[in-house]
Amino acid sequence: MKVAIICPMEEEIGYYKEHLGLTTSEVVGPTEIWTASYEGHDLIVARCGIGKVNAAIATTLVAQRQPDLIINTGSAGAVSPDRQIGDIIIGEATMYHDADARAFGYELGQVPTMPARYKAPENLIQGFLDAYHETELTATPGLILTGDQFIADVDKVSSLYQTFRGAQCAEMEGAAVAQVANQFGIDCIVIRAISDTAQQDANVIFDEFVVTAGQNAAKVTLSYLKHLN
């Protein structure tokens, strides 16, 4: 199977570089792309950069290589008060929290003519849950929010949690990756590890734990690929 893995930041892609022996680096605009083989799969690994536009550019470039599956991994800030630093969120669905076309009859978070939520296939969700059981990490399926905002305000986090039922975390790329994958008809799932919470000093905590969060998300992904036929 041909599998694409997209990560926003260098800190989040480091685990893949260390464990996959990535080769054939290619740079197209803001996107850096490597290839590798792992457990019988052909991998495309891309660093997209931060934010929705960078994520969409990278996913479009990757989609043109016709992968069977796109996995977006990295870090995120907790939205649910139950989530702790290091927890894994398996994206049952992703959606934007900063899109608002309700004046035209769309749902809050829905880009006009696009789905309100980008749902991952059930087999992918279950596969990642099974992979989690082989690790020491805490994994929870749920909704992942995306927006071009780093959220470090307790009141903002509380508002997101109350507005978007089931929201577990917020980040800046996942729904954009999922939207492009949807447009190309490619299966997609977003996996995020919690790097910070608004209850603490989020910008300081993020700097301290982003590498660990990226590693945790990557560990689950590689564990999943071992069992993927």
Question: Which tokens is 183 given?
Answer: 């447009």
Note if 26 is an active site residue: no
Quote the DSSP letter at residue 74: E
Query: Measured between alpha carbons, how far is 158 from 125 in angstroms, rounded to an integer?
Result: 26
**CA-based radius of gyration for the chain:** 16
Q: How far is CA 3 from the centre of its chain?
A: 15
Query: Measured between alpha carbons, how far is 229 from 215 in angstroms, rounded to an integer?
Result: 23
Number of H-type helices and E-type strands within the chain: 6, 10
Helix ranges restricted to H, 10-115: 10-20, 52-63
Residue tagged active-site, from 11, 12, 87, 92: 12
Question: Which tokens is 75 given?
Answer: 């870090």
Q: Is 86 buried (19+), middle (13-18) or exposed (0-12) by CB count in 10 A?
A: middle
Residue tagged active-site, from 32, 92, 173, 196: 196
| E-only strand ranges, the chain | 2-7, 23-28, 31-38, 41-47, 69-78, 88-96, 118-119, 139-146, 167-171, 187-196
CB 79 within 8 A of CB 167: yes
Note if 12 is an active site residue: yes
Please list the active-site residues. Answer: 12, 196
